Amino acid sequence: MEQRYVYPFSAIIGQARIKKALLMNVVNPKIGGVLITGERGTAKSTMVRALGDLLQQTKVVDLPLNVTEEMVVGTIKLDKAIKEGVKELEEGLLAKVDGHILYIDEVNLLSDGITKIILDAASSGINRVEREGISFIHSSKFTLVGTMNPEEGQLSPQFLDRFGLYVTVKGEEDLQSRVEIIKRRLQYEEDPKKFYLSYEKENKLLREKIAKAKQLIESITVPDGMIDLCASIALQANCSGHRADLYLIEAAKAIAALNEQNSVSVKHIEEAAQYVIVHRMREKPENQQEQQEEQNNNENQHEEDHDQPNNPSQENQQNDNNDRDSMDELPPTEPPQDQEDNQLPQDKESVSDIGEQFKLNKIIASEKDRQIRKGSGKRSKTRSGTKQGRFVKAAISSGKVTDLAFVATIRAAAPFQKLRKSNGNVITITDADLRKKVREKRIGNTLLFVVDASGSMGAQQRMKAVKGATLSILNDAYQKRDSVGMIAFRKDTAELILDITRSVDLAQRKLRELPTGGKTPLAHGLFLGYERLRKALIKDQEILPILIVVTDGKANHGMNGTDPVKEALDIAQHIAATGVQSLVIDIENNFINLGIAKEIAKALNADYYKLDELKSDNIVSAVKAIL
């Protein structure tokens, strides 16, 4: 058989951070795998396969997207069960990958059940099989590498946290580098063997470096001060649990080993944090921030009290002067809501342009549910009610089987063949043996926008920003094949300006024409949004609705003449009680923030974002700030 020459690892241009992450995992398997995320065509798969070739004795085992639980963990041997009535394990992928690299392309499209099994094995180093009367444990130590394109959906936070390292990849932006990539690829395709051998020297040096690092890794020491630093970094980043602390230490050890150093230093931990912390950072809860600020203020006040003179008259005079100085230094604040509305006549309207559009950093998605649904799309995972979708596992059927899991049925019947009359059949199957296929697929959501178009949104070109953000979500909805609708509230009422439709173009046109002016009847907007989704659910119970509220929260007009903010909160709580998933985008950007939109989000039990949080990801710079 003719040898197949893989594109050499040393020939890959750029992508230094991904190369480093892969080498770190090989040197120290305790790191827990690496997740590579980024755009298409950036050599993610090429680098993984080149790594397997570089290590020679290590092979890359691909995990198919249509893999089933039986294929992963192992199952009963059919021939043994049928011929001898013996239950013996047929090894799955987790046994075959022991000592090798498990590569999962598009890991975000893998079913949650399969993902959990693989991550459990990766962290524990063993695979425990408990199925079909078999109980067995075997070694499963492997280097886990997952790749994904975020445009196709995100991993849930609990699964994301299980990957030790996280790296984002993008195409080369340097012109000369891009030209060199093309030249090398053309040379490789023209003569793979010649190109492969031309980089054998570099590969050999890298192979020796990995071997030395593997020998050194167990003897590397971690001083107590470095352990304190790892815990401090994880604490400042508000990482949940203790995985971040542990992976930081293991990653730092791998970096030290690759640098041929015997002890972990601050430099190693700082570099490791850029791989370990990025996908684990969380914003601190608001009450913790307030407590910290209050504590800092109290400490500062305590210090000032000690420094103040004891002369009361002098003290009072100094305070008066300070107050006057402080008032001069304060930036001008926006007028209160009522004054803001008074500046524009209630009947005066204006139409804002559409502001900056951007690629969403946060992905809108309904949580995976267990209800069987029809439909199509690319956003939310659900159980399939048809024969379409990925076969994820077999299950015992309670009724007529229309989608038979053939292999699972035979496996269920196999151990009992010696006890059953064959009646001339090769295998005898009873109704109790029948297994049905459980399938999963993605469907689109029904997104209903409730947009604040009151006079307050005209200040500081807020409506321009609102339209830009809403249009960005509409573009995302088009890609995920969602249905969309739009409600605007202004003056003294709310109106359905676009009923639920598949036409995103129509929604964009209505958004462009949306005027601004008048009061803020937030309660009516929420009420009308809920009523429209309720009717949609009555008509089609299989839809997955999401209510998207875009507002600054400054309600000043109620439905029943009562407190408008309290009315909005009461309606929000009622919507939350019905189980409708919601999202609140807070557009408030005043010098003094009232935070009403955040209260609405809490009442709705909704995801809450400030507008800037939907834009580009600033986590890397935040990590550097912590360090």
Torsion of CA 240, 244, 246, 250, to 10 degrees: 170
Query: 274 vs 12, 44, 261, 394, 577, CA distance in Å?
Result: 22, 19, 20, 41, 41
| Partners of 625 in the β-ladder | none
Q: Supply 241's token pair.
A: 């649990």
In a 3-state reduction of DSSP, which class is residue 583? Answer: strand
| 34-38, strands of its sheet edge to edge | 60-62, 101-105, 143-148, 34-38, 165-169
Contact at 8 Å (CB) between 440 and 390? yes
Q: Note the helical H segments in 480-587.
A: 504-512, 522-539, 564-577
| Residues involved in catalysis | 243
Contact at 8 Å (CB) between 360 and 476? yes
* Locus of tokens 């050499």: 8
Q: Which residues have CB under 8 Å from 156's CB, separation 6+?
A: 112
Q: Which residues have CB under 8 Å from 191's CB, separation 6+?
A: none
Contact at 8 Å (CB) between 73 and 94? yes
* Locus of tokens 């609405």: 600
